[in-house]
Structure 1
Amino acid sequence: MAQIFPEFTVNDENLEEQKRKVLQQIKQNKEKIEKLLSIQNKTYENFVKPYQLMQVKLNLLFSPISHLNYVKNTPKTQEVYSSLLPVLTEYYTNLGQDERIYKAFTEIYKKEKDRLNQEQKKVLEDGIRDFELSGVNLSEYKRNKVKDINIRLSQLQNQFAQNLLDATDKYELIVEDFEDVREIPETDLEKAKTIKDGKTVYRFTLHQPSYIAFMTYCNNRQKREELYKAYVTRAPENEKILEEILSLRHEKANILGFKNYAELSLATKMAQSPQQVIDFLRELAKKSKSQAEKEYEELNRYAKKLGLEDDIQAYDFAYYSEKLKKEKFDVNDELYKPYFEKNRVIEGLFGFLNRLFKLDFEKINVPVWDPSVSVYQIYRKGKLLGRLYLDLEAREGKRDGAWMDEWITYHTDEKGNEIPPVAFIVANFSPSSEDSPSLLRPYDVETLFHEMGHALHHLLSQIKEPFVSGISGVEWDAVEFPSQFLEKFAYEPAVLKNFAFHYKTGEPLPEDMINRLKNSKNFLSALGMIRQIEFALFDMLIHLDKYTASDVQKILDKVREEVSVIKPPPYNKFQWSFSHIFAGGYAAGYYSYKWAEVLSADAYFMFVDNGLYNDELAESFYEEILTKGGSRPAMELFKNFAGREPDIDALLRLSGIKT
């Protein structure tokens, strides 16, 4: 394998130069396409392979700009990223609508179908389908209309995300009375402490570590609601944006021959129809709701015992649930955080992956965009597989949440050389300071395992065609399968013993604390299930027709009435910050988390029931799931691994939901 990796050297100073390279690559790609189209006898090797490789080169140049805009957002990154979006969208839309390329793909497929290997056939099959979904067979007027819609959608989705980031960055809640924050853990309180007018006050923001700490431990209900209200009413300007996004998606779906955007979205997924998804979600809700109601009743009884006069509201949930969890299981995030020091957790995760999949990780020193970022090379049996960047600590100018992004996908080049993959894992864990390292909550550990599952799916691919390597070509409702599978090991006692050591004393996490954490895993799990179903059902329903912002609110209210147990206050405008569907890839696809969790829960229990470190099972998962990328349908790969269809009851078993 060629062991040459690109270095991440893009920053505010050279963004314009990087933009110039992107534009130059687009120009070169257009010229190359014309040359490829002039070939008389087109084959997979002389046409499809170089067509893929030119897109790889473009992504290699654009990804650092996109990545920087998310992790170190500045006016300059916004400007450059926003200026490139319409250019790239137009470029890709033009490709997707080019009848000549479509004709070449279809002719090569007919001519070489019996000679091509499975991954090459999948590239052509996916490509032909995507050309048709891009409107290649439409009239010129309709093709241009789709192109215009795509460009506008890319701009709107970017603006939605930017509005959300700006709103998150600019808000602060200043608390002057120590009595209001006396229950907040010392490490979080120290980070919040600041001086105003010569007096010590406490500053809290809408960034996740700060927001979560406040909502979980602030004993002043009025202040909790104040911060909660700021959080759920962020970016009101997104109301008009989401309305236009929904309108354009519906219009695009109609032009392409679909009844609605939900149908268009599912054309590339495992699920067969919107109704199938809605039925799946409602069946899950039906099986979960009675237990969720019992959990809510128990939480209410407990809160009233502590003096709460009315029922628990959305802004009370984290506060009282943390107290009840502590009382029932003696589990308190603050007791665990000293045992989950970020770097030790990373080492422990790597140790677990070494034992499970025989992977080795070597820390290296290369250019990064922030001093807190660490970089690793990944090996298996002495062979270099790829490179991984970890950017895990929260900071200003960084988009909330956690995600994995790919920079380079494993593939072979024109000469047959193997090109190793590169991935980024980004999170927003509590930042380190001069006085304290970054300490993780148990949920943060789970999040890191989850994103590592995505990274492994990308980095361990052995598929030579980039369009179906790693997570490329994987149905969207299966893409969460490896990530959810891996996260389920985060609370396993045998795994925790790899890394749960007190950062000051070096003492291992006591056995009883491990058991309590494991036992608490399904605490209020039915309420958690219902919450995810609420989001997923809302997402699918608003994509069934052309809806206004007012309609969207009504649909959300109806969904909450149908499935929610803890009803949010009327001012909650969750839709304004639902970036997964309005600025990410989950539109009419948020159900994927639960759909894929059926696969992941089933696979996880195969390991639990047959031995955690079962070499035969692990090798099968590695070979059939992690190395095959999108070269085959996900259901086929699952059945190759499990030897059977997935079992939906595994998801209920995982959540401790009894039906």
Structure 2
Amino acid sequence: MTSIFPEFTISDQNLDRQKELVLEQIQSNRETIKKLLKIKNKTYQNFVKPYQLIHVKLTILFSPISHLNYVKNSEKTQKVYSELLPVLTEYYTELGQSRQLYEAFKEIYQKEKDSLNQEQKKVLEDAIRDFELSGVNLRDEKREKVKQINIKLSQLQNSFAQNLLNATDSYEMIVEDFEDVKELPPTELESAKLERDGKTVYRFTLHQPSYIAYMTYGSNRVKREEIYRAYVTRAPENDKILEEILSLRYQKAKLLGFNNYAELSLATKMAKSPQQVIDFLKNLADKSKPQAEKEYNQLNSFAKKLGLEGDLQAYDFAYYSEKMKKQMFDVNDEDFRPYFEKNRVVEGLFQFLNRLFKLEFEKVDVPVWHPSVSVYHIYRKGKLIGRIYLDLESREGKKDGAWMDEWVVHHEDEKGRIISPVAFIVANFSPSSKDIPSLLRPYDVETLFHEMGHALHHLLSEVKEPFVSGISGVEWDAVEFPSQFLEKFAYEPSVLKTFAYHYKTDQPIPDEMVKKLKSSKNFLSALSMVRQIEFSLFDILIHLDNYTSDDVQKILDQVREEVSVIKPPPYNKFQWSFSHIFAGGYAAGYYSYKWAEVLSADAYFMFIDNGIYNDEIAESFYSNILSKGGSMPADELFRRFAGREPDINALLRLSGIKTGGQ
């Protein structure tokens, strides 16, 4: 049987050809759109459907280039990606500002809205709204200004991300004294060890596994601050870039008739106004901060008993909290890693999804961009649903963090055939070596579950219209709902038992360890909560006006004063590396993590309180949330699933935060 999926055969060698294909598709799309606009009697079927499908083709061609630039970054990928970005941005901005297209969509909507199905109506409603948000109703010179702003923003955001990657790749801290690394677990010690000038030294970088290892186990406080300082002052050139990004966003919002960029951002989200977001965050902060302060005082006292001079600083937090967690719960992340071998965790996650949603995973041998990547086909009730690529290990030239990206969206093509979706999951877990496989921390396991939640939202769609299928058309502050929902099961004893086996002895994880992990889940949870609120509040506030980089620093300082409990040192320039909002899609939307977590915590407790493997609830979640994509507003889908409005108290219950700090 011939494959129904595109194959990943893109590499540095054929990137130029792939770039040509993208440019050819853009040209072909322009010609097709001209023909579509000439149709006398435009309908959904003869106009909107083909319009969507030509853009699916463009995404299928461009996605591998952007993907490769993130997972196997090179001068070649940077060059090709940077050359295509302004071309694509100009193309999409031109479309968004096309009066003819706008009028065609409006005309079809007015004429056919009573006969269209829900998916088709949502495509048209979203499109009409997006045309208006692109400046379609502006005068020519203002429309051109918005277009130029979009192109410039795409270039600046790419520069921000590239500066961060270059800064991360270029730094190393060499530790010569074994005393300074003596507390590191054997696997981390082995990863850091190398021979230089005939002696053994230990090398640490700003890549997540290496950085976290020293911050958590590095016994030399001076060295901890040294690598911390490097981490929080990465890419100083981004200071000017973020100022320019904020200025352009503000200008764009004003041109489009909004008071500020936060209002423009929220026009496509569940939250109705910046003030509603600010109130939501401050309400959470008020309920969380008293407990966060108690947690800090407890940790500070603990650190002083161990000999810490002065008060606990930001660069001490991971080190002492790991020790305190060990003492309170007799739990240490390193104790768990031998039980969390990467491949076994993946298989266990698949088994869990099989029990929960009746999904089956089959490993397939297809072309990949790196030997550590694995690929699976997903089936449900004997039917092939989609394909997923897992690229989970850290390496040079790979962007930090973890994410899910879509390559092909589930949709119906022009011949009425269903096209199966394809997704990528990328993470930066400790790499395997010839002696030791990739071993995960508990947090890494959560991360894998989280990204799989995103992937399922994309892959399990049953929506036929590509513009509202999978995560397309889903409000940004609801996008995290399925991912956060799934991650909450990572520590459930019945789930852990499916994959937690010692990689050497094959012995299952002891019940006592599972109990400890579960009981320690909310360790310092209020401190974690206020940290996320700090980021979210900072993000929404800096998008309320046209702020300079100095203003941004002042706002960050004010937010920290109001919300933070562990105050970072003055040199901390967190904003230089806040790629979620300056290089990703979270601008004036970082609050979405907490907003969506209300939905996910509420849904999670519906399962926990009624038995995890409750087929009726699972089927409702599958059919109302996972398979509906963006075909309906998220709040309506939640009500269909839960039968009521979401409850904010579910989030506090999940985090073990008692209201008012009681």
Question: TM-score normalized by structure 1?
Answer: 1.00
Which residue does the alignment assign to 2:248? 248
Which residue does the alignment assign to 2:508? 508
The Cα of 1:195 is off from its aligned counterpart by 1.1
Which residue does the alignment assign to 2:17? 17
Q: After superposition, where does 1:459-474 map in structure 2 within 5 Å? A: 459-474=459-474
Which residue does the alignment assign to 2:268? 268
Which residue does the alignment assign to 1:401? 401
**Structure 2 Cα separation of the partners of residues 196 and 171 of structure 1:** 17
**Structure 2 Cα separation of the partners of residues 200 and 44 of structure 1:** 68
The Cα of 1:169 is off from its aligned counterpart by 0.2
Which residue does the alignment assign to 1:211? 211
**Unmatched runs of 5 consecutive residues or more in structure 1:** none
The Cα of 1:196 is off from its aligned counterpart by 1.2
Which residue does the alignment assign to 2:108? 108
Contact 1:340 1:500 in 2 (8 A): yes
| Letter in structure 2 aligned against 1:327 | Q
The Cα of 1:36 is off from its aligned counterpart by 0.3
Q: In percent, how many aligned pairs have the same letter?
A: 79
| Letter in structure 2 aligned against 1:472 | S
**Structure 2 Cα separation of the partners of residues 233 and 194 of structure 1:** 26
Which residue does the alignment assign to 2:333? 333
Which residue does the alignment assign to 1:358? 358
1:290-345: CA deviations, max 9, x gaps? 00000000001100110002111000000000000000001101100000000000
**Structure 1 Cα separation of the partners of residues 309 and 210 of structure 2:** 27
Three-state SS of the structure 2 residue aligned to 1:414 is coil
Which residue does the alignment assign to 1:342? 342
Which residue does the alignment assign to 1:531? 531
| Letter in structure 2 aligned against 1:87 | V
Which residue does the alignment assign to 2:297? 297
The answer as to 2:640 corresponding to 1:640 is: yes
1:493-526: CA deviations, max 9, x gaps? 0100000000010000000000000000000000
Q: Structure 1 runs of 4+ off > 3 angstroms?
A: none
**Structure 1 Cα separation of the partners of residues 304 and 390 of structure 2:** 43
The answer as to 2:303 corresponding to 1:311 is: no
The answer as to 2:142 corresponding to 1:142 is: yes
The Cα of 1:131 is off from its aligned counterpart by 0.1
Which residue does the alignment assign to 2:429? 429
Which residue does the alignment assign to 1:152? 152
1:251-292: CA deviations, max 9, x gaps? 000000000000000000000000000000000000000000
The answer as to 2:483 corresponding to 1:480 is: no
Three-state SS of the structure 2 residue aligned to 1:404 is strand
Q: After superposition, where does 1:79-94 map in structure 2 within 5 Å? A: 79-94=79-94
Three-state SS of the structure 2 residue aligned to 1:376 is strand
Which residue does the alignment assign to 1:499? 499
Which residue does the alignment assign to 2:521? 521
Contact 1:2 1:417 in 2 (8 A): no
Which residue does the alignment assign to 1:42? 42
**Structure 2 Cα separation of the partners of residues 312 and 491 of structure 1:** 29
| Letter in structure 1 aligned against 2:489 | F
The Cα of 1:45 is off from its aligned counterpart by 0.2
Contact 1:402 1:425 in 2 (8 A): yes
The answer as to 2:123 corresponding to 1:123 is: yes
| Letter in structure 1 aligned against 2:526 | A
The answer as to 2:167 corresponding to 1:167 is: yes
**Structure 2 Cα separation of the partners of residues 131 and 277 of structure 1:** 25
Which residue does the alignment assign to 1:571? 571
**Structure 1 Cα separation of the partners of residues 337 and 194 of structure 2:** 23
**Unmatched runs of 5 consecutive residues or more in structure 2:** none
The answer as to 2:80 corresponding to 1:77 is: no
Three-state SS of the structure 2 residue aligned to 1:565 is coil
Which residue does the alignment assign to 1:379? 379
Change (3 A) 1:272 1:2: farther
**Structure 2 Cα separation of the partners of residues 145 and 248 of structure 1:** 10
Which residue does the alignment assign to 1:229? 229
| Letter in structure 1 aligned against 2:63 | S
Contact 1:530 1:564 in 2 (8 A): yes
Which residue does the alignment assign to 2:618? 618
1:400-449: CA deviations, max 9, x gaps? 00000000000000011000000000000000001100000000000000
Three-state SS of the structure 2 residue aligned to 1:378 is strand
| Letter in structure 1 aligned against 2:71 | V
Three-state SS of the structure 1 residue aligned to 2:414 is coil
Question: What is the RMSD computed on CA atoms of the aligned residues?
Answer: 0.7
Which residue does the alignment assign to 1:180? 180
1:532-558: CA deviations, max 9, x gaps? 000000000000000000000000000
Contact 1:246 1:547 in 2 (8 A): yes
The Cα of 1:3 is off from its aligned counterpart by 5.4
Three-state SS of the structure 1 residue aligned to 2:314 is coil
| Letter in structure 2 aligned against 1:274 | P
**Structure 2 Cα separation of the partners of residues 94 and 408 of structure 1:** 24
**Structure 2 Cα separation of the partners of residues 56 and 312 of structure 1:** 52
The Cα of 1:379 is off from its aligned counterpart by 0.2
Contact 1:2 1:419 in 2 (8 A): no
| Letter in structure 1 aligned against 2:175 | V
1:168-210: CA deviations, max 9, x gaps? 0000000000000000111011111111111100000000000
**Structure 2 Cα separation of the partners of residues 641 and 150 of structure 1:** 38
The Cα of 1:358 is off from its aligned counterpart by 0.1
| Letter in structure 1 aligned against 2:570 | P
| Letter in structure 1 aligned against 2:655 | S
**Structure 1 Cα separation of the partners of residues 61 and 471 of structure 2:** 19
| Letter in structure 2 aligned against 1:118 | Q
**Structure 2 Cα separation of the partners of residues 125 and 606 of structure 1:** 32
| Letter in structure 1 aligned against 2:191 | K
**Structure 2 Cα separation of the partners of residues 608 and 307 of structure 1:** 42
| Letter in structure 2 aligned against 1:611 | G
**Structure 1 Cα separation of the partners of residues 475 and 249 of structure 2:** 20
Three-state SS of the structure 2 residue aligned to 1:271 is coil
The Cα of 1:376 is off from its aligned counterpart by 0.1
Change (3 A) 1:111 1:138: same
Contact 1:460 1:470 in 2 (8 A): yes
The number of equivalent residue pairs is: 659
The Cα of 1:2 is off from its aligned counterpart by 9.3
**Structure 1 Cα separation of the partners of residues 226 and 51 of structure 2:** 53
1:360-395: CA deviations, max 9, x gaps? 000000000000000000000000000000000000
**Structure 2 Cα separation of the partners of residues 500 and 196 of structure 1:** 37
| Letter in structure 2 aligned against 1:488 | K
**Structure 1 Cα separation of the partners of residues 177 and 587 of structure 2:** 43
**Structure 2 Cα separation of the partners of residues 114 and 219 of structure 1:** 68
Contact 1:2 1:418 in 2 (8 A): no
Which residue does the alignment assign to 1:239? 239
Three-state SS of the structure 2 residue aligned to 1:316 is helix
Contact 1:607 1:613 in 2 (8 A): yes
Which residue does the alignment assign to 1:26? 26
Three-state SS of the structure 2 residue aligned to 1:366 is coil
Contact 1:3 1:420 in 2 (8 A): no
The Cα of 1:229 is off from its aligned counterpart by 0.1
The Cα of 1:621 is off from its aligned counterpart by 0.2
Q: After superposition, where does 1:47-58 map in structure 2 within 5 Å? A: 47-58=47-58
